[in-house]
Amino acid sequence: VSDQTRRAFVKRSAGAAAGATVLGALLAGEADASTSEPVVAYVHDGKISIMTGEREVTVRDRKLAAQIVRAGGN
Partner 1 sequence: MSSHREAPAISKDPVADNTDTYAFVSPDDPDTVTIISNYLPLEAPFGGPNFFEFGDDVRYEIHIDNDADGAPEITYEFEFQTQVRNPDTFLYNTGPIDSIASPNWNRRQFYSVTRVENGHRKVLARGLACPPCNIGPGSTPRYEALAGQATHKIARGHTVFAGQRLEGFYVDLGAVFDLADLRPFQNLHIAAMAATHGVNATHDFGVHSIALKIPKHELTRNGSTPTDPMSATSVIGVWTAASRRRAVIREAGTGSMHEAGPWVQVSRLGNPLFNEVIVPLGDKDRWNALPAQADAQFLHYVLHPELAALLPVLYPGVFPNLAKLTAPRADLAAILMTGIPAGIVPGFQNFTGTNPADQLRLNMAIPPTRKGPSPLGLIGGDAAGFPNGRRVFDDVVTVELRAIAGATYPLVNKSYTPDAAAALVTDGLGPNATRYLPHFPYLGTPKGGYQTRPLRAA
Cβ 46 to partner 1, closest distance in Å? 19
User: What is the gyration radius of the CA atoms in the chain, in angstroms?
Assistant: 11
Cβ 67 to partner 1, closest distance in Å? 20
Integer angstrom CA distances of residue 57 from 16, 37, 73:
14, 16, 24
Of 25, 55, 60, residue with least CA distance to 38: 55
Cβ 4 to partner 1, closest distance in Å? 17
Q: From residue 1 to residue 40, what is the string marking binding to partner 1 with x (rule CB under 8 A)?
A: ------------------------------------xxxx
